[in-house]
Amino acid sequence: MTRKLFGTDGVRGRANSHPMTAEMALRLGAAAGRYFRREGSSAHRVVIGKDTRLSGYMLENALTAGLTSTGMNVLLLGPVPTPAVGFLTRSMRADLGVMISASHNPHQDNGIKFFGPDGFKLSDEAEAEIEAIVAGEIIPAAPERIGRAKRIEDGRGRYQEFVKTTFPSGRTLEGLKVVIDCANGAAYRAAPEVLWELGAEVIPVGVTPNGTNINDHVGSTYTRTAAEAVVAHGAHMGISLDGDADRVMILDETGRVADGDQIMALLADRWAEEGRLKGGTLVATVMSNLGLERFLTRRGLRLERTAVGDRYVVEAMRRGGWNLGGEQSGHIVMTDYATTGDGLIAGLQFLAEMARTGQPASRLVDQFETVPQLLQNVRFAAGAKPLEAASVRQTIAANEARISGKGRILIRKSGTEPLIRVMAECEDPALLSDVVAEIVGAVEAAAV
């Protein structure tokens, strides 16, 4: 069963344009409610969280209407990180969790992600079944079985208390000055409060959301602002989250940025030493640097690669019984603690290593030497299929032959934006640049 509405991370698009309209949100809510409603039970429960986008109000109300129309009782959490929704779905014994967010995208975009009762994102098969219900006739509940809606005031607090339990007991962050960039997003209150309660001196950045400034020159996809704050305040390190706080970039005391690969290398090495890394395996996507794979191999560990998307990382982790995975983009998944990527918990794990070892962040973020990697995005017009063009296929094949034995090429269509992502790795920087430039040129010519 194919999916048209759902991408790699839920349903996403420009607000007030298909599929991110109030009408579609209502139908999605009703379809999800019908899919998860247990016959013979009146205790159906859904938790809904959101980030700080202006369009979140519209989609929250529409989803609530759709869900209650099929007999689901809705608990509204307000602005909370995506991992909080996964946690609270399971903690509050809900049948379904919903997060309204477009993650690192600009405020004009929004998205809807669904979590099952176990707190994990839905499978492709479940999403396809919900799509099928959306396309058909959705049978509403009888009048006496229409659901209720209630705002939960302490959802964020419950999540914060849980997050603090993931930091080693007996340790504090006293003496550490930390910049926390919340991207004017979902963690703008939770993250600074957790760090302060654990004893850090907190320098907050991106904590004044106004509905339209989420990810605007702040956050994990624009680390310059956090880096400048680290240097200006003489901070020991920085934590830069994205709009829904499920991904993170770590900055050392000089403002240098470490991506998810370096963080995963640090945690995998430490967990393996402690006997905590299940199966001696780290799960990451095809985007992770070859240097990470070499680092793990030298330590007798293995890297399991998946398709791009943290949901695919999590699915592989669950199948293999592994407990650590993530993406180069900063999704760090630790299933001992959370059901999805959690930028704040990942940041705390890094801080725990600083506190344990007494080493500066600059030492801890430099786990392995990266193989030169170049990624360029090409935006394509509606209806265009550049990867199907013969000229593009021929250019890719020719350059794969050029780089064979020296590196690799990865070309893929984004699951959340109209972009073709062209990535290559090669020990020869000049060849790397030339290969990517040729492929990008071919894709651009076919992208109109």
Amino acid at 140: P
Query: Do 379 and 326 sit in the same domain of this protein?
Result: no
282 three-class SS: strand
For residues 414 and 109, is the Cβ–Cβ distance under 8 A?
no
What region, left, alpha or beta, does residue 322 occupy, with left being phi > 0 and alpha being psi -120 to 50 degrees?
Answer: beta
Single residue among 180, 215, 249 that ends a domain in this structure: 249
For residues 392 and 442, is the Cβ–Cβ distance under 8 A?
yes
For residues 334 and 303, is the Cβ–Cβ distance under 8 A?
no
E strands in 23-165:
45-50, 73-79, 96-100, 109-115, 149-151
Query: Do 208 and 142 sit in the same domain of this protein?
Result: no
Query: Do 211 and 229 sit in the same domain of this protein?
Result: yes
In a domain, 69, yes or no: yes
Query: Do 205 and 120 sit in the same domain of this protein?
Result: no
In a domain, 1, yes or no: no
Set 103, 220, 240, 329: catalytic member: 103
Single residue among 315, 342, 364 that ends a domain in this structure: 364
What does pTM read for this prediction?
Answer: 0.91
Query: Do 340 and 429 sit in the same domain of this protein?
Result: no
Query: Do 230 and 299 sit in the same domain of this protein?
Result: no
391 three-class SS: helix
The CATH number given to whatever domain includes residue 15 is 3.40.120.10
Q: How far apart are CA 19 and CA 131, in angstroms?
A: 12
The CATH number given to whatever domain includes residue 402 is 3.30.310.50
Q: How far apart are CA 289 and CA 285, in angstroms?
A: 9
In a domain, 70, yes or no: yes
For residues 184 and 218, is the Cβ–Cβ distance under 8 A?
yes
Read off the pLDDT of residues 335-382 as tens digits, 9 standing for 90 and up: 999 999 999 999 999 999 999 999 999 999 999 999 999 999 999 998
Query: Do 139 and 192 sit in the same domain of this protein?
Result: no
For residues 117 and 337, is the Cβ–Cβ distance under 8 A?
no
Q: How far apart are CA 1 and CA 404, in angstroms?
A: 36
In a domain, 255, yes or no: no
- pLDDT recorded at residue 161: 98
In a domain, 178, yes or no: yes
- Residues of the domain holding 325: 260-364
- Measuring CA to CA, which residue among 323, 319, 325 is closest to residue 303? 325
- Measuring CA to CA, which residue among 334, 323, 341, 314 is closest to residue 280? 323
In a domain, 147, yes or no: yes
The count of domains in the chain is 4
In a domain, 387, yes or no: yes
Query: Do 267 and 355 sit in the same domain of this protein?
Result: yes
**What angle, rounded to 10 degrees, do the helices at 343-357 and 190-197 form?**
20
Read off the pLDDT of residues 193-238 as tens digits, 9 standing for 90 and up: 999 999 999 999 999 999 999 999 999 999 999 999 999 999 999 9
In a domain, 254, yes or no: no
103 is catalytic: yes
Query: Do 329 and 265 sit in the same domain of this protein?
Result: yes
Whether residue 83 has a cis bond before it, omega within 30° of 0? no
State the pairing for strand pair 45-50/201-205: unpaired
Q: How far apart are CA 209 and CA 351, in angstroms?
A: 26
Single residue among 313, 331, 364 that ends a domain in this structure: 364
pLDDT by residue for the chain (448 residues), tens digit each?
567 899 888 999 999 999 999 999 999 999 999 999 866 566 799 999 999 999 999 999 999 999 999 999 999 999 999 999 999 999 999 999 999 999 999 999 999 999 999 999 999 899 999 999 999 999 999 999 999 999 999 999 999 999 999 999 989 999 999 999 999 999 999 999 999 999 999 999 999 999 999 999 999 999 999 999 999 999 999 999 999 999 999 999 999 999 999 999 999 999 999 999 999 999 999 999 999 999 999 999 999 999 988 989 999 999 999 999 999 999 999 999 999 999 999 999 999 999 999 999 999 999 999 999 999 999 999 889 999 999 999 999 999 999 998 889 999 988 778 899 999 999 999 999 999 999 999 999 999 8
- Measuring CA to CA, which residue among 190, 219, 180, 197 is closest to residue 347? 180
If one counts every other C-beta atom within 10 angstroms of the C-beta of residue 54, the result is 15
Query: Do 23 and 116 sit in the same domain of this protein?
Result: yes
Query: Do 104 and 188 sit in the same domain of this protein?
Result: no
Nearby residues of 282 by Cβ (< 8 Å), 6 or more positions away? 264, 268, 292, 296, 301, 302, 303, 304, 322, 324, 325
Q: Which residues pair with 304 in a beta bridge?
A: 283
Query: Do 278 and 240 sit in the same domain of this protein?
Result: no
